[in-house]
A and B are shown apart, each in its own frame.
Chain A
């Protein structure tokens, strides 16, 4: 049994899943648009949360929030469930597929056999769409892969019940009902306003533009505080969070720039074209940072000079983003 599902490859899992599901249910939507309406852009440096035993640096909001916010802002009705019992979770997934509905699922990457081995870490916020079942294999549309993939029922169940941080607890979601009409401009503006607010006004030092500056300050102290080996590992981890599969490059800044470009057309707002270009420039700055950082990692230089230089690059990113989001909020108004 296989649902006729148009698979499209995208850069990021959750916004790709969202866009592909909307598309299937009759609302043409790009990944960038889903990412923007869902206010996916973010920054936080939270050293007390560990991923693979290293401090969390994130360039996007928590898993699940993009889908939640896009559907809410567009008035789409969603069915969502978590499970305690894997057997029930599997039976209900099969039932939904039987009724001809594609189902989104949160999974742990570590257990998914179709991932390149080098990418299989314990990260539990990965989203994919189950589009069918043949024998003991599920057919899956995972937006970060070129083609649809297959996965054995046992492996998918393990992935759905992955343990540790962000444990998915078998979470699945699907679209129940599309609205008669959607108010795209309103949803876009709400998404933009939220990103500006979180990036500029969150009253926590580790979030938004302040979070970037916090990372810059702390990073400059790493060589002295952590010793050579840990310093290099910490730095490598920041690069991976920023650039690895799923960010679209530059820690999601390029996806967001693409969204602003689309938004300019929908809202008939030419200011957004210039802001999109500035967002691209910020993404380029983040790429420069990643490149410099990777060379520091490769050369194993923990000399203070190179870390002061990296911190300076981060301060520059923070300043540019602060100006960008201030102007963006002004361009949207209210």
Chain B
């Protein structure tokens, strides 16, 4: 890659600039600052769209009474029951049970504390679910394209 070909296509990196290796006019390698590249931006935003899709699905499942609100926070932090169990020090089978609405409804505040601490939200908030996935949290593209 030549120095002048280092792409400068801003995207999802919230203003952070990274460096790319490129060749200058004398054929020497240099480090050139870059704000992003189209190919990367597409791949990255696609990964986030997928998470937003999953969040939509899980919200629908919770509203339909098939899953507990904990499922929403699990998906939001890109975890599966196994990873969530490891983080909270709770057995995986118990985490899976907590994903059931009927079981979740009976959980005390102290049962939910490990989850709340890990995810940095209050216990009350763990019991509620938004109507729509929080798009703004992931999508920084508009701010950065200026």
User: How distant is the Cα of A236 from the Cα of B18 in the complex, in angstroms?
Assistant: 20
A118 and B14 in contact, given A164-B83, A243-B40, A250-B1 (Cβ under 8 angstroms):
yes
Looking at the complex, which one of A121, A232, A248 makes contact with B78 (CB distance below 8 Å)? A121
A298 within 8 A of B: yes
Cβ–Cβ contact B22 & A164, under 8 A: no
Closest to A167 in B: B86
- Which residues of B from 2 to 21 have beta carbons under 8 Å from A? 12-21
Contacts of B19 in A (CB 8 A): 9-11, 248
A118 and B44 in contact, given A11-B20, A233-B50 (Cβ under 8 angstroms):
yes
Measured between C-beta atoms, what is the minimum distance from A239 to chain B in Å? 4
User: How distant is the Cα of A257 from the Cα of B31 in the complex, in angstroms?
Assistant: 13
Looking at the complex, which one of A32, A119, A250, A290 makes contact with B29 (CB distance below 8 Å)? A32
In the complex, per-residue mask of B49-90: 1 if CB is within 8 Å of any chain A CB, else 0:
010000000000000000000000000011110010011000
User: How distant is the Cα of A146 from the Cα of B22 in the complex, in angstroms?
Assistant: 18
User: How distant is the Cα of A52 from the Cα of B54 in the complex, in angstroms?
Assistant: 13
Contacts of A179 in B (CB 8 A): none
The number of residues on chain B lying at the interface, defined by a beta carbon within 8 Å of a beta carbon of chain A, is: 39
- Main SS at interface, chain A: helix
User: How distant is the Cα of A312 from the Cα of B46 in the complex, in angstroms?
Assistant: 24
Q: Which of A39-47, A75-83, A99-107, A279-287 forms part of the interface with chain B?
A: A279-287
User: How distant is the Cα of A291 from the Cα of B5 in the complex, in angstroms?
Assistant: 13
Measured between C-beta atoms, what is the minimum distance from B133 to chain A in Å? 14
Contacts of B137 in A (CB 8 A): 117
Looking at the complex, which one of A144, A248, A255, A294 makes contact with B43 (CB distance below 8 Å)? A294
Closest to B136 in A: A117
Q: Please name 13 pairs of A and B residues whose Cβ atoms are closer than 8 Å in the assembled complex, sorted by A.
A: A10-B19, A10-B31, A11-B19, A32-B29, A53-B80, A118-B12, A233-B46, A236-B47, A239-B43, A240-B40, A243-B40, A244-B40, A294-B40
Interface of B toward A, CB cutoff 8 Å: 1, 12-23, 27-29, 31, 37-40, 42-48, 50, 77-80, 83, 86-87, 137-138, 140
